[in-house]
Amino acid sequence: MKVLILGSGGREHALAWSVRRCARVTEVVCAPGNGGIAEVARCIPVDLKNLDAMVRLVEAEQPALTIVGPELPLSLGVVDVLQEHGFRVFGPTREAAMLETSKAFAKQFMKRNKIPTANYAVCTSAGELEKMIDHFHAPIVIKADGLAAGKGVIICQSRNMALEAAHGLFSGALLGTAEGQVVIEEFLEGDEVSFLCLSDGKTVAPLVPAQDHKRIGEGDTGPNTGGMGVYSTDTILDPGMTEWILHHIAEPTVRGMAEEGVPFVGVLYVGLMMTARGPEVLEYNARFGDPETQAILVRLESDLVDAIDACIDGTLAATQLRWSPGAAACVVASSSGYPGSYRTGFPISGLAAAGQVPGVQVFHAGTSNLDGQIVTSGGRVLGVTAAGESLEQALARAYQALGEIHFDGIYFRRDIGHRALQPKASTEI
């Protein structure tokens, strides 16, 4: 069977690599793809903001299955239009993706369905927000309602800073477009965990947990990024905690969406804060995480396409996912200057040697192939991913592989996974 993947980042490279290993898959196409994805899939240009272009591509290619990677095409309704045209596609509909695309919807949904999350208020004007803000103590979290590519959450140390941030969102000064709704949220403290599940609209099947490192600097300092590295081990959550999260968060989410007439089929990514009160939802994403997917998929031993088919067919309850018991880590190599401005077009060397390190897969995030030479083309350039029997081994392998790789201005954090290597008290509820 032919599988088409929409997207162009490290997540899509990991998806293409994983799909290619599936028993029934004979061809993988990725649109638009990148320089590294072209080594495992045929890449075709497409504009992920243009629904007609995506429909034309799927009509021309006739894949047996289309997998949607990023949130933007989901927010436009690519799943709805492809389904209307009779195609088999994996991802939530536009309305179901609102769990990610509208933070106001997500918060109100969680409240209706008694899913633990930070206290909040949804405001539709600066005046309303000024009144509501007195119910919150600093630090106060201010969030844009809509998609903001990681720039829509502002943690404010004072009431005045929160008011300023909210004004910036309402006026459009902060994100370029004016927000109709702004969420005020209580600040939560704890460790963050990315809890991803497959959902067929009724049943959820958890993937292995992962922990993301969002800040650019070592020791979790500096501005937020799309993610500088991630690790996955079974010890991030013990079995009792996984059950608790399934029963109190993931399953009620999928059940609530079905009861509200908007079944959620796809990947439900629950961003959790492990607070002193127990796990609480920071955010939902309606897709595979990036770079979580890179570390998660190198641990998947069962067939990804079979699992995706089970989601689409509503038979997930009868499907068993199998995982390698050890650990995986993904360290992102970025361009100097990221997440601010950066230059591109620098040749990358050492990729072949890096790929020879046992257990390593080098997933490309922002690269292109220029006449046979792989060059940088984005802020996040590579996700050097390694599986191992332990987290220590996975990290050692990833950093050994990174030692082989060079490009002008290469930057990566040297402390990915370090928190997990330090002994700490377990969270109990």
Side-chain half-sphere CA neighbours of 199 within 13 A: 33
Nearest to ligand GLY of 179, 292 (CB atom): 292
Nearest to ligand GLY of 116, 227 (CB atom): 227
Q: How far is the CB of 139 from ligand AMP (least distance, A)?
A: 8
User: Left (φ > 0), alpha (ψ -120 to 50) or beta: where does 278 sit?
Assistant: left
- Distance between CA atoms of residues 413 and 331, nearest Å: 7
Task: Tell which positions 101-130 bind ligand GLY, by CB under 6 A.
Answer: none
Q: How far is the CB of 201 from ligand GLY (least distance, A)?
A: 22
The residue among 216, 243, 260, 229 whose CA lies nearest residue 96 is: 260
Residue count, binding to ligand AMP (CB under 6 A):
11
Roughly what angle, to the nearest 10 degrees, separates helices 103-112 and 251-259? 100
Strand order in the sheet with 191-200: 204-206, 191-200, 265-275, 278-285
100 binds ligand GLY (CB under 6 A): no
Side-chain half-sphere CA neighbours of 234 within 13 A: 12
Place of tokens 């993937």: 207
Task: Tell which positions 269-308 bind ligand AMP, by CB under 6 A.
Answer: 271, 282-283
- The site partner of 227 among ligand AMP, ligand GLY, none (C-beta below 5 to 8 Å per kind) is ligand GLY
Please, are residues 174 and 165 in contact by the beta-carbon 8 Å criterion? yes
Please, are residues 206 and 242 in contact by the beta-carbon 8 Å criterion? yes
Q: How far is the CB of 284 from ligand AMP (least distance, A)?
A: 9
147 binds ligand AMP (CB under 6 A): no
Stretch that binds ligand AMP, among 167-175, 183-191, 366-374, 409-417 (CB under 6 A): 183-191
Nearest to ligand GLY of 121, 286 (CB atom): 286
198 binds ligand AMP (CB under 6 A): no
Task: Tell which positions 214-243 bind ligand AMP, by CB under 6 A.
Answer: 214
- The site partner of 292 among ligand GLY, ligand AMP, none (C-beta below 5 to 8 Å per kind) is ligand GLY
Place of tokens 């969030």: 143
Beta bridge partners of 89: 66
200 binds ligand AMP (CB under 6 A): no
Number of alpha helices (DSSP H) and beta strands (DSSP E) in the chain: 15, 22
60: part of which helix (H) or strand (E)? helix 51-61
Nearest to ligand AMP of 75, 368 (CB atom): 75
Task: Tell which positions 292-311 bind ligand GLY, by CB under 6 A.
Answer: 292
Which of 35, 152, 206, 227 forms a contact with ligand GLY (CB under 6 A)?
Answer: 227
Radius of gyration in angstroms for the set of CA atoms belonging to the chain, rounded to a whole number: 21
Which of 38, 40, 43, 118 forms a contact with ligand AMP (CB under 6 A)?
Answer: 118
Alpha helices in 267-390 (DSSP H): 292-297, 304-313, 351-355
The residue among 294, 270, 272, 269 whose CA lies nearest residue 394 is: 294
Q: How far is the CB of 121 from ligand GLY (least distance, A)?
A: 24
290 binds ligand GLY (CB under 6 A): yes
- Distance between CA atoms of residues 246 and 115, nearest Å: 11
Q: How far is the CB of 257 from ligand AMP (least distance, A)?
A: 19
Task: Read off the DSSP letter of residue 148.
Answer: -
187 binds ligand AMP (CB under 6 A): yes
| Buried-state track 176-185, b at ≥16 Cβ within 10 A, e below 16 | eeebebbbbb
12 binds ligand GLY (CB under 6 A): no
Residue with CB nearest ligand AMP? 283
Nearest to ligand GLY of 185, 309 (CB atom): 185
- The site partner of 141 among ligand AMP, ligand GLY, none (C-beta below 5 to 8 Å per kind) is ligand AMP
- Distance between CA atoms of residues 388 and 209, nearest Å: 16
Place of tokens 């799309």: 226
- The site partner of 71 among ligand AMP, ligand GLY, none (C-beta below 5 to 8 Å per kind) is none
Task: Tell which positions 195-224 bind ligand GLY, by CB under 6 A.
Answer: 212
State the residues that interact with ligand AMP by CB under 6 A: 118, 141, 153, 185, 187-188, 192, 214, 271, 282-283
State the residues that interact with ligand GLY by CB under 6 A: 212, 227, 285, 289-290, 292
